[in-house]
Structure 1
């Protein structure tokens, strides 16, 4: 049938879209038969039930809103969060082991609503919800602040090394690559055959890329298969790729995590600022007023120029207590020689007086070590020369800004209240690492992807805070039972 002239063409039909009558996300209904069996087998005060009571308090509206109300119903995010928290507390850190345990463990089956959840669903939920775990961790801090459990004057900072999911064959060290490039440049390429020249070119390209990556990331080593890891020395277990987890904990008895920083650094230098700035943000969001002065104690790993400068600049809002560490590099003292304390540093004149009372020549700027070098005078005839220097004259290096920061921290640590407070540092933050590594058995991450790495670390710290809140509630119940008034004695018959 032809279209009549002068009449407009009818509009094209738009494809129909399925619009739900109720946009509320829908999740799988519980398996009534399996859930009823698990309900009878799980005791009333079981750890899974107590974890679930905490999980019910979390705000998961935004996460649940991402679920669809159309098509096949998925698993509720609250159930998956409860599963991962309980699994972390009992030492299940891999999705395969958790999925296998769901088939036989009644407590896990009770948390999942009677369902056997697949490995893909468990791993996908953990990988995609790192922000949820971090927000839940900050929410536990808010609950602790409301209950008066956070001690802002009892903060401790330290770090722990966690094994990375990476192979040693994927590690590139800058110093080794530079040494190898030097040897490769000394090879006569013209004397090689075609196969050997191709292999030589591959080796040069490999080490040049390693040096470029180390300089780009400002690290001494890189891991090609895991950008968040670096080569680290593990106590009693050799050198392996790892992550450095810096934690700020609060209270000697509570030991709640209030700040976290995950890096690929081989030491603690320079991490004080990042960890404490995040701690201030978390505490302020939890209800602690910002003008309140915090007090944090750290070990000798944070005795660096960057950390001491941060402590001096933020002295008004943060009281930092750091333990002095041994001098390293150009500031170190050789064994058997006079210590640095024997030399007098005159900050006003920027001069150095040696133990013999003579003003040293200088300074000469050392650009590589960013310090000033002073030279002794009259050293060949000085009676203190055998104890002062093995060379013809003594050299002395000074970082004036570092020396001023060092004296300020040493003066603060000599005060009686600082010594008593610093002795509580180990009891504040070290039990957090014992909880992660000994109680939960969490020593190695199970993924090499950056979002999953962050999510896994935040999940374990969230499990630690939940366990501390559960311990607090149990102790509170025991205290109430012990302090309950006794019933009046029965009246004696007249």
Structure 2
């Protein structure tokens, strides 16, 4: 029997492609700076906007006094270009912008080979308060000429950001004076302890403790000077006392979803057509209700007869709605109960995160169900009310709350004190003397007529459609400013300077809109 001869299989050799190595070592290259500004880019639109004269910079000339003597200054046009380009790239520090003017070819294409010093940039930014408002308006006119403003709807919203100040330096005048006294007492106590330990009139302190004493004394003197310059406490819109801040007294404490911050609230009014910011303001207050009317007045010149202003529930108040009606401004502003009335959100409770069933297996104590108005017998004609135990009180008085008329009754402490069901009737039986109960009769709408009209409008199909457009108009703008541009805090101090810095970021946003529209390329 013959066996078939087996074939020998040779391994297949696969040819490998060869590529040139990438040489990224430093080298000298001939660069035409003007060609580094590519059409359609932000820097191209910015350069064309400034050099074409569309944005006059005459207001900056008032800061210079070198017309007869002194060295030539860096042009405000150059400084404005590099600052706006730096803000568009997330560079806020003057040192970072100055470094980019020496190393980055795009920055060099705008400022030339003579890079400005970081102190020059810092001084320029601190002087921007008055001129930047005019620059912002001129850029807005260019956006309007390019057809980027539709004037159909203006959406107003704000963002609360930390400022260049510390929360621990905040307080009323009495609190700050008490804090300064404690610092001085602590410094004196440390000196007395060392004096007693050394047994000498002049104590010898370690360097670290000596610095601590000097720091306490310096902070105490700083607070004392602040109190001497500010004789009165700050007051809010309703006259309530607000806490001052030694570092930046224009800033304020604000509650956010990430805790309490010391900073400012930046308010932007955005056009719905192409999301162009038509107004930008920064205020040192967390009360959004007080910021609505200033924002509306600032954009009235840009409104048409059909412009609608939208804002969320934070800006809603009866006085604001009344003022808008007197100004003849059409507005759609939500109230706090809008979601509860919206039938599309009837099942929103099921989306809320529930407690983790694996976290705690112990039985939770049942919540005590208190007696409600339905458990009381009410005779509206005789104006008397009987509690579940049988105690009766007469002479209910009328009261008005949010447009609702009610009859209110208050039981006597002698009736509620010895009652066996006191714990089931009072929410805080250990501190509350007697029970009160109210029976609402009707909603007259006379107390808040403008709120009633706004509720009817926003509950309509047309009102819901307008309000739903608000979020898609203004929220992407803040996403661009905060995430893409790095606006996470204000680095300047004082309301005037912070307002100018916020306008700078909003100006970058508007110039981006011009760049995407092909400004300067045609």
Instruction: Return the TM-score normalized by structure 2.
Output: 0.63
User: Which residue does 2:107 correspond to in 1?
Assistant: 108
User: Which residue does 1:394 correspond to in 2?
Assistant: 437
Matched, 1:297 2:319: no
Distance 1:472 1:215 in 2: 46
Contact 2:226 2:246 in 1 (8 A): no
Structure 1: gaps (5+ residues): 1-32, 185-194, 328-334, 340-351, 381-385, 481-494
Radius of gyration: which is bigger?
A: 2
Matches within 5 A, 1:78-89: 78-89=77-88
Among candidates 268, 280, 304, match of residue 247 of structure 1? 268
Structure 2 vs 1, CA of residues 394 and 118 (structure 1 numbering), >3 Å: closer, same or farther?
same
Distance 2:329 2:397 in 1: 39
Q: RMSD between aligned alpha carbons?
A: 4.8
Distance 1:245 1:303 in 2: 18
Contact 1:226 1:449 in 2 (8 A): yes
Note the C-alpha offset of 1:77.
Answer: 1.4
User: Which residue does 1:362 correspond to in 2?
Assistant: 398
Matched, 1:125 2:124: yes
User: Which residue does 1:319 correspond to in 2?
Assistant: 330
Note the C-alpha offset of 1:449.
Answer: 3.7
User: Which residue does 1:153 correspond to in 2?
Assistant: 152
User: Which residue does 2:284 correspond to in 1?
Assistant: 264
Among candidates 388, 397, 408, match of residue 376 of structure 1? 408
Note the C-alpha offset of 1:373.
Answer: 9.3
Distance 2:98 2:370 in 1: 61
Structure 2 vs 1, CA of residues 109 and 304 (structure 1 numbering), >3 Å: closer, same or farther?
same
Note the C-alpha offset of 1:60.
Answer: 2.2
Distance 1:399 1:266 in 2: 32
Structure 2 vs 1, CA of residues 360 and 411 (structure 1 numbering), >3 Å: closer, same or farther?
farther
User: Residues 65-124 of structure 1: CA distance to partner in whole angstroms, max 9, x if unpaired?
Assistant: 445443421122111111111111111111111112212111111110221110111111
Structure 2 vs 1, CA of residues 113 and 307 (structure 1 numbering), >3 Å: closer, same or farther?
same
Distance 2:163 2:488 in 1: 9
Aligned to 1:150, the other structure's residue is in SS state: coil
Aligned to 2:95, the other structure's residue is in SS state: helix
Note the C-alpha offset of 1:261.
Answer: 2.7
Structure 2: gaps (5+ residues): 1-27, 183-191, 193-216, 339-368, 374-382, 386-393, 413-422, 428-433
Note the C-alpha offset of 1:35.
Answer: 10
Structure 2 vs 1, CA of residues 392 and 235 (structure 1 numbering), >3 Å: closer, same or farther?
closer
Distance 2:278 2:371 in 1: 44
User: Residues 407-428 of structure 1: CA distance to partner in whole angstroms, max 9, x if unpaired?
Assistant: 1211221232111111000111
Structure 2 vs 1, CA of residues 267 and 42 (structure 1 numbering), >3 Å: closer, same or farther?
same
Structure 2 vs 1, CA of residues 458 and 387 (structure 1 numbering), >3 Å: closer, same or farther?
farther
How many aligned positions are there? 393
Aligned to 1:324, the other structure's residue is in SS state: coil
Distance 1:76 1:378 in 2: 74
Structure 2 vs 1, CA of residues 255 and 336 (structure 1 numbering), >3 Å: closer, same or farther?
farther
Matches within 5 A, 1:26-425: 38-39=33-34, 43=38, 46-57=41-52, 58-63=54-59, 65-66=61-62, 67=64, 68-70=66-68, 71-172=70-171, 177=175, 212-215=232-235, 218=239, 220-236=242-258, 238-251=259-272, 253-281=273-301, 283=302, 292-314=305-327, 317-326=328-337, 361-363=397-399, 375-376=407-408, 392-395=435-438, 402-425=447-470
Contact 2:399 2:408 in 1 (8 A): no
Structure 2 vs 1, CA of residues 452 and 392 (structure 1 numbering), >3 Å: closer, same or farther?
closer
Structure 2 vs 1, CA of residues 359 and 372 (structure 1 numbering), >3 Å: closer, same or farther?
farther
User: Residues 266-311 of structure 1: CA distance to partner in whole angstroms, max 9, x if unpaired?
Assistant: 2312221111001113x2xxxx66xx24311111101223322223
Structure 2 vs 1, CA of residues 36 and 136 (structure 1 numbering), >3 Å: closer, same or farther?
same
Distance 1:305 1:338 in 2: 30
Note the C-alpha offset of 1:216.
Answer: 8.0
Aligned to 1:166, the other structure's residue is in SS state: coil
User: Residues 445-466 of structure 1: CA distance to partner in whole angstroms, max 9, x if unpaired?
Assistant: 1121444222211111111111
Contact 1:299 1:322 in 2 (8 A): yes
Structure 2 vs 1, CA of residues 300 and 338 (structure 1 numbering), >3 Å: closer, same or farther?
farther
Distance 2:125 2:30 in 1: 24
Structure 2 vs 1, CA of residues 79 and 206 (structure 1 numbering), >3 Å: closer, same or farther?
closer
Distance 2:405 2:172 in 1: 31
Structure 2 vs 1, CA of residues 372 and 436 (structure 1 numbering), >3 Å: closer, same or farther?
same
Contact 2:492 2:498 in 1 (8 A): yes
Distance 2:445 2:94 in 1: 53
Distance 1:403 1:227 in 2: 36
Structure 2 vs 1, CA of residues 395 and 254 (structure 1 numbering), >3 Å: closer, same or farther?
same
Structure 2 vs 1, CA of residues 40 and 467 (structure 1 numbering), >3 Å: closer, same or farther?
closer
Structure 2 vs 1, CA of residues 392 and 444 (structure 1 numbering), >3 Å: closer, same or farther?
closer
Contact 1:60 1:78 in 2 (8 A): no
Structure 2 vs 1, CA of residues 89 and 416 (structure 1 numbering), >3 Å: closer, same or farther?
same
User: Which residue does 2:354 correspond to in 1?
Assistant: none
